[in-house]
A = this chain, B = another copy of it.
């Protein structure tokens, strides 16, 4: 058997991402030992029942004591508390990374607490589903996906190489980026889409003239697509909104401006303008499919829903 990449990996937080990491680390033998920590007692018990690691603790300190690699997978708003907790107990040479969806805020929150004898390399695997918790994870989550690292200037190059190798072993391709640029990119490709999805589902939920049962019944005509993103973890997304505020507000302003212009075209019957936009956007879809970032099958290739009793929604 080949030597594992890391003797001991500590996973702080064991939700969708943390538990997927536990599974792929185990499946590919990437660590000698997996130490799991989470504040939630029920989650810790679930992780134990799923046999995700080698040790389980509600203390972050206990989990990181011998760790060569510490991966923090918590809502970004909890990053500072975790860093403050573990900072004094990190082993010399330990690599500390995270998986948060915002990066500048995570750097601000964590960096001051990481001692200089450890290597702090923030990260963000671009992978996930709308589900959450330790039961939702799976070993293949990171396969064929991108992982962005945002190492601060002066980070030990060997540590970056080791962490890059780890993500590659998980099946991902690693890119490096500046934290602020990461936050701008993610604001448009991820944060704005989630916010818009949450918003439209909220709007539909509030209508008086159209019943909730009608919304659900006829949702296959477009609306259902949005409900998937709007089913994502509320704590995670609350924190993303609070911790990438500037970039999100910038993207929201542009979106709203464009929407006002589109609304005006509808009001004044400007068919040419509508046709121009609706044609231009097709190309973007084509590029995404060509880049292997989505399936080309119609309706995402999902099974045609065939309710036994189509009136079930009523």
A36 within 8 A of B: no
Q: How many angstroms from the CA of A204 to the CA of B305 in the assembled complex? A: 31
| Least Cβ–Cβ distance between A297 and chain B, in angstroms | 7
Q: What residues of B have a CB within 8 angstroms of the CB of A186 in the complex? A: 218, 221
Which positions 180-231 of chain A face chain B at CB distance < 8 Å?
181, 184-186, 188-207, 209-210, 212, 214-231
A160 within 8 A of B: no
Copies of this chain, count: 2
Q: How many angstroms from the CA of A212 to the CA of B288 in the assembled complex? A: 10
In the complex, per-residue mask of A235-266: 1 if CB is within 8 Å of any chain B CB, else 0: 10110011001001101101110111011011
A81 within 8 A of B: no
A228 touches B285 (CB 8 A): yes
In the complex, per-residue mask of A272-285: 1 if CB is within 8 Å of any chain B CB, else 0: 00110111111011
Of A26-34, A52-60, A61-69, A126-134, the one with at least 4 CB within 8 A of chain B: A126-134
The CB with the most chain B CB atoms within 10 A, among A127, A217, A248, A251, is that of A217
A2 within 8 A of B: no
Interface size on A, residues (CB 8 A): 120
A293 touches B224 (CB 8 A): yes
Which positions 79-128 of chain A face chain B at CB distance < 8 Å?
101, 126-128
A298 within 8 A of B: yes
Q: What residues of B have a CB within 8 angstroms of the CB of A219 in the complex? A: 189, 288, 291, 293-294
A301 within 8 A of B: yes
A290 within 8 A of B: yes
B302 touches A294 (CB 8 A): yes
A171 to B, closest residue via Cβ: B306
B281 touches A202 (CB 8 A): yes
| Least Cβ–Cβ distance between A230 and chain B, in angstroms | 4
Please name 18 further chain A to chain B contacts, defined as beta carbons within 8 Å, in addition to the given A189-B219, A248-B266, A294-B305, sorted by A numbering: A128-B221, A140-B304, A143-B306, A184-B210, A188-B204, A199-B259, A202-B262, A205-B284, A212-B287, A216-B284, A217-B293, A235-B275, A237-B278, A245-B266, A256-B259, A287-B313, A292-B308, A300-B301
